[in-house]
Every structure is written in C-alpha cells, then in structure tokens.
Amino acid sequence: MSHAAVVSSSRGTRRTTTSSATAARLLEHRSVVIAGVWLVPALLAASETYLFWRLGGRSHPFWRAVLMEGPAWATYALLTPLVFALGRRLPPRRPHLARNIAAHLAVSLSAGLVYATVATATTTLFTPVPRPMSFGQTVLAWYLSALPLTTLTYFGTLGVGLALDYFGEARRRQVEAAQLAAQLAEARLGALRMQLHPHFLFNTLNAIIVLARDGDTPRVTRMLTLLSDLLRDVLRSEATHSIPLEDELSFARRYLEIEQVRFGDRLRVREVVDERARSALVPPFVLQPLMENAVRHGIAPRVAGGTVEIGARLTDDGLELWVADDGVGLPADWSGVDDYGIGLSNSEARLAALAGGAGTLQITGRAGAGTRCVARLPAQWRQS
C-alpha cells in the first residue's frame, strides 16, 4: 500500500463526505421541500377547476379555486412525515410483508377519508355551485370516487419515503466504507512501520542469531518462517475491510510467538476464544496494537514477565474482542484517551467509524494489577 493510495482514499472520503453534506442540508429543509412538492398538484387542481369554470361560462377568480382545492392537498403535505415514519416502522418487506402492507392499506383508507372530508368542507365553503346532497353524503361520494387516487397517492408517498431512507442508508454506508478504506490503508502502513521498525527487527534477528549460534536449527527455521509469514500478512495487496477472526488470530499467534522467542519464559500466552466467534468478521490488524501495548507496556517492564490473554466472544450487541495482561498495569497518572499512543488512537478511530460509531475501544486496569483492552464491534460484524 503506497502513500499515494492512502492519499487517494482520503480524497475519496472527502468527496463522499461533501456529497453527503449536501444531502444533509436538503434534509434540514425537509418541511420546505415537502410543502413545495405538494404545492404542484394543488396548483394543478386549482387550475383545472378554474378552467372548467371558464369553459362553463363562469368567471370566478383564481384565488377561489386555490382556496377550494388547496387545503385537501395540504392535508397530504401534513400527513407526509407521518407516512415516512410509518414506512420506517412498518417496512413492506419480509418477514412481516403481508401484515405491514395491510396496515398501510388501512392507513391509506383513513388518509383518503381525511382528504375527502377536507375537500368537501372547502368545496362547500368556496364552490359557486350549490350542492344537492348533505355534507355526509358528499363526503362519502367524494371518498368513493377519489379512492383509487388517494390510495395511489398514499403508496406513492410511502414509496418516496422508503426510497429516501434507502438512499440515506446507502450514502451513510458509502461514507463509512470510504472512511474505513482510508483508515485501513493507514493501519496497514502503521503495521508495516511497526514491523519494520529497527528496534523490532534488531531484537527479532538477534534472537535468530543466538539460536543459530547455539545450533538450534529447528527454532531458527521456525523464527524465520514466522517473520516471513508476519511480513507477508502486512504486505499483502488484497484490499479488504474485514477478515475472519481466525485469520486475525493466526496473525496474533505469529506475532506473539516471535515475541516469546525474545522474552523466553517471561512471556506466556493464553487464548480464550468462543468457537462460535471464530468465523466472525473483524477489521484487519484490530488486535495488533492491543498486543503491542500489552507486551511493551505491560510485560516487558516486569522482571517476572507475565501472561497475555487474547479473547473473543459473541454478545447480544455484536462481537467483543480483548487483549489482557497481568503486567505492571496502568500508571497512576493515566488519563484515558489522552494517553493513547498512535496505535491505540488509530484503533479507536477505526472502531468508532464502524456503523455510525457503534464500535468502541475501552482500556481498564490499575497499577500492579494488569491491563485489559476491549474492542466491541456492532452486530453486523458477528458472522461472516
């Protein structure tokens, strides 16, 4: 992953964010947009009534036609937010497709009755032609004659609301995907910098040299294989936002096995993973900064060393990953997020970008009692 790729991803994120900002500004004026949309059929209906008057030889003013036709269409303008909300609450899709469509049909019939009542009232007030029927009879006649139109109008409005919701969701996912792409590129570069850091390579190669001098050919071969596999994972060209947890754990094992050669018996590793979680999808390199933090700041300063535990489990809300150690713990002046290093800060930012901020990173512990880093992922990351 080149620096140009990172810059390109960042530019894509900015372009997508700009488009979404434009859509967001339109949504801020939703009431004005709804009023403007329904003004069109109201004016068309008023124009139709006015032309019929003129063709019949009656020269009534246009404003009278507007007052007669406008309020009925204004009723649908007022009902539009309710229809949109019902569309979100009762979406016409499985597993409750028939039930929800029946509910919308009932609401559409009620909306048609409101429309007919308002139309009858305004016609009675402003029409120049006397009506032979009573008010109730006129409402019923208007309701039945306009029933196809009012039903189509309701479901057309419902369709527009669902389309807007789907568009907004797609736009949000596009923004998140662009952000994750940029963060993934930066995470890949960050992991590469960490692995190629002179200090890390020096210690790893020094451990290999010591083993070679001792004639421990199997362990030398194992170390070189682990280092090769580790760098291959970091340098792999496949661009992906998620990988199976088992693949992430495989990377974690190789990293920690290399560290075990450096620390010897001072570093012990324990894996506590729910079998059901192994196929869950996770962001690549999500565990690496947490492991680095545990080894460097928890185990390394402790003479007796300690244990690093990697765990994962499914929860009602999604997936929970953790890296814990029984090392020196957090310093007394630990202030939380403000004390995160680059690796932990990047991890928190990536997790926060998942599903509109549903991903979180939490670090707890106290001096002398170890540290626990917990990454929580939203429900859509639970299964592949």
> Does pLDDT of 273 surpass 90?
yes
Is residue 135 a part of any domain in this protein? yes
Geometric angle at alpha carbon 20, from 153 and 360, rounded to 5°: 110
The pLDDT score that the predictor gives to residue 214 is 87
Number of separate domains in the chain: 2
The reported pTM is: 0.50
From 118, 151, 173, the end of a domain falls on: 173
Is residue 243 a part of any domain in this protein? no
> Does pLDDT of 31 surpass 50?
yes
Distance CA 190, CA 200 (A): 14
The pLDDT score that the predictor gives to residue 12 is 45
Across the chain, which distance is largest between two alpha carbons, in Å?
A: 113
What's the average model confidence in pLDDT over 276-302?
A: 87
The CATH number covering residue 372 comes to: 3.30.565.10
pLDDT, averaged across the chain = 79
> In this structure, are 161 and 281 located in the same domain?
no
Please report, rounded to a whole number, the percentage of residues in the chain having pLDDT higher than 90: 13
> Does pLDDT of 116 surpass 80?
yes
What's the average model confidence in pLDDT over 94-103?
A: 88
Structural domain of residue 131, as residue ranges?
3-173
Token digits of residue 236: 């792999």
From 118, 141, 173, the end of a domain falls on: 173
CB 336 within 8 A of CB 272: no
Is residue 33 a part of any domain in this protein? yes
The pLDDT score that the predictor gives to residue 188 is 61
The pLDDT score that the predictor gives to residue 2 is 34
From 158, 173, 188, the end of a domain falls on: 173
**pLDDT digits over 56-86, tens only?**
778 788 888 888 888 888 888 888 889 888 8
Provide the pLDDT confidence category of residue 352 given band limits of 50, 70 and 90.
Answer: confident
